[in-house]
Amino acid sequence: MKKTHLLLVGVVSAFIALAYAEMPTPGGPPSLEFHTIPVEGAPTSEHKVTPYRLYNKMVVTVWDPIYCGQKPVNPAFSIQGDKLFLSYALSPASAGAKSCTLVSEFDISNLPHRDLEINFAGGPEPYIVTTLKKCPYYNPATDDIWECLAPAKP
C-alpha cells in the first residue's frame, strides 16, 4: 500500500512539474516588436484595433487609414496603471496621395498579469480604446484568466 501511494505521489508530482515547465515565465521588462504591412487599393475609413493576449504577451493588430506612401515612425508603448498606450507617428503625406490602409502589429512581451485597457493613436488623432474579455468556451480551473483573452465587442 505504501509503495502504491508513493508511486502515485511521484506520478502526480511529475505531472505538476511538467505543467509548470510548459507555462511561459516573464523574462525582464516589457518589450516591443513592431511589424507593418501596407495595403494599397483597399482603403478603410475607420480604425480597427484588435488585441489578443496569451499568457504574458499581448498582440495588437491595427488597421489604420493613411495616405499612400506614409510610413509609421517611432512606434512606442507605455503602461500607466491599468492602461496600455500604443502609438506611432506618421511620415508626411505626399500632395494628392490616395487613401490607403496600414496594417500594423504591436507584439508586447513580458506584460504584468492584470487587466489592461488598450489605447492606440497613429499620428495626431485621439486615442482609440479597446478592451479584452475571457475567450469564449474557455473555463480555466483557477482564477488566472491571463492564459487567453480575446477582443471584447464594442
Q: What is the pLDDT of residue 26?
A: 52
d(CA 144, CA 107): 21
Given a contact cutoff of 8 angstroms between Cβ atoms, the answer to whether 40 and 100 are in contact is yes
Local confidence band at 13 (pLDDT 50, 70, 90 cut-offs): very low
Q: Taking 50 as the threshold, does the pLDDT of residue 6 lie above it?
A: no
Q: CB within 8 A of 86, min separation 6: which ones?
A: 60, 62, 75, 76, 77, 106, 118, 119, 120, 121
Q: Residue 62 is placed in which grid cell?
A: 491595427
Q: Where along the chain do its domains lie?
A: 29-151
d(CA 102, CA 112): 29
For all residues of the chain together, what is the average pLDDT? 75
68/8: higher pLDDT:
68
pLDDT in tens, 114-140: 778 889 988 778 888 887 766 655 555
pLDDT in tens, 55-103: 788 899 999 888 888 899 999 999 998 889 999 999 998 888 888 888 9
Q: What is the pLDDT of residue 41?
A: 65
